[in-house]
Amino acid sequence: MSGKHRKVAYYPGCALEETGHAYNRSTKELGKALGLELVELENWNCCGAMEVKNLDPKLQTYLSARNLAIAGKMGFDTVMAPCNGCYHNLKKAEYDLGHDAGSREVVERLSQKAGHETYEAGGVSTIHALDWIKEAIGEDGLKNRVENSLKGLKIANYYGCMYTRPRHIFPEKDKGPGSESTSKPHFMDDLLAAAGADCVEFPLRTACCGGAHTLSDSDISTKLVLNLLTTAEACGAEVIATECPTCHTGLEMHQVRAEKVFGRKTRVKILYFTQLLGMALGLSARRVGVQENLSDASDLLRQKGLG
């Protein structure tokens, strides 16, 4: 254990208050079980997801800058965001404000008019929930605390788009051994393997689930998700582990839609990595919100003696 990230600012984001509630619950429970403290950002706002940028990218930068300024004001230098969309937008704001005078100008103007401090580039840095566990506890730390090993549960780890692309906004990635890779991310594989899972080789780990058009172009989303689900099954996975509420809900929704609209049934279950780690630490399935998932994994978990 490194002593890093023992206490960080927590930015749940909108999705974690609604469809991604199970992710919120399991992240908090996991933190508690590991003795890591999360302090929620006060009066945070939506990061703009994948939508506001299409009206104006600098407005989206402002939305994240406001959240980063709040973290700074609360005395934190690190903010942890479990949602890929939030994480991506905060990282992008950090990058743009460090590199683009035009973005700085707009953020300064809007922050002044809105009446709050302006975020200064470099003041606060963003980490993902995966970085948080990996750096605060690490694989060895986890191994020592596993109470209920995942016992070779076959897992395909799905990272999606926003965790690694575009690469320039993630300056800490691709820095050799120990760092995360943008072409073949592995932090989730590392952590779940430490908890006893058998992580299968899953080539679509950073493929797209069509999350941006989940509702506006449902057929494409269903095709993309179906491809992920069938490939995961072909790789031998019983579970797809996720680390983003949009991907997670997209996979669940389109698994149902693929069956109802295209008549293609798949059996692979979808669980947040925080739920899996929580259960490995001995938390019950209920504590980590398995009943809140659309994808009903209870039978499989019982069969494996988990939860």
Partner 1 sequence: MPIHEKSLIRPENLAIHEDLTIEGVDVSGHWSTFIKSRAVTDYNEAMEQEIAALPGGEYIHRCWQCGSCTNSCTVNAVNPDFNPRYWIYLIRLGMEEELLRDKDIVWQCVSCNKCTYACPRDVNPEGVMKATAHWLELKGHTDQKPSMAFDEIFSAQVFATGKIEEGRIIRQFFARTGQSLFQDWLLALARGLAKRLPVGLLARLGFAALFRPRTSGWGRAQAAMAEYLGEQQAARRSALGIEEGAKR
- The nearer residue to partner 1, 100 or 135, going by C-beta atoms, is 100
Q: Which token pair is 105? A: 């100008």
| Residues 237-276, interacting with partner 1 (CB under 8 A) | 253, 256-257, 259-261
- The nearer residue to partner 1, 57 or 141, going by C-beta atoms, is 57
Tell me if 40 sits within 8 A of 72, measured CB to CB.
no
- The nearer residue to partner 1, 34 or 47, going by C-beta atoms, is 47
**Rounded Cα gap, residues 21 and 151, in angstroms:** 27
Q: Using alpha carbons only, what angle is made at residue 74 by residues 73 and 77, rounded to the nearest 5 degrees? A: 85
Q: Using alpha carbons only, what angle is made at residue 57 by residues 52 and 59, rounded to the nearest 5 degrees? A: 70
Q: Among 10, 62, 187, 202, indicate the residue that binds partner 1 (CB under 8 A).
A: 62
Q: Which token pair is 267? A: 């059996």
Total length of the chain:
307
The reply to whether 55 sits near partner 1 by the rule CB under 8 A is: yes
Q: Which string of b and e fits 148-159 if b means at least 16 CB within 10 Å? A: bbbeebbbbbbb
The reply to whether 213 sits near partner 1 by the rule CB under 8 A is: yes
Indicate the SS3 state at residue 228. helix
177-206 mask for partner 1 (x: CB under 8 A)? Answer: -----x------------------------
- The nearer residue to partner 1, 5 or 58, going by C-beta atoms, is 58
- Give residues with Cβ within 8 angstroms of 204, minimum separation 6: 158, 227, 228, 231, 232
Q: Among 2, 7, 40, 56, indicate the residue that binds partner 1 (CB under 8 A).
A: 56
The reply to whether 68 sits near partner 1 by the rule CB under 8 A is: no
Q: Which token pair is 38? A: 């999360």
Q: Which stretch binds partner 1 (CB under 8 A): 117-125, 141-149, 171-179, 217-225?
A: 217-225
Q: Among 130, 133, 199, 208, indicate the residue that binds partner 1 (CB under 8 A).
A: 208
DSSP at 7: E
Q: Among 3, 75, 101, 115, indicate the residue that binds partner 1 (CB under 8 A).
A: 115
Q: Which stretch binds partner 1 (CB under 8 A): 57-65, 138-146, 173-181, 264-272?
A: 57-65
| Residues 15-34, interacting with partner 1 (CB under 8 A) | 15, 17-19, 21
**Rounded Cα gap, residues 64 and 44, in angstroms:** 9
The letter for the amino acid at 37 is E
Q: Which token pair is 95? A: 């990058």
**Rounded Cα gap, residues 25 and 287, in angstroms:** 8
| Residues 93-112, interacting with partner 1 (CB under 8 A) | 106, 109-110
- Count of positions on this chain that bind partner 1 (CB under 8 A): 62
Q: Which residues form the interface with partner 1 (CB under 8 A)?
A: 14-15, 17-19, 21, 43-46, 48-59, 62-63, 66, 106, 109-110, 113-116, 161-162, 164-167, 182, 207-208, 210-213, 215-217, 220-221, 223-224, 253, 256-257, 259-261, 291-292, 294, 296
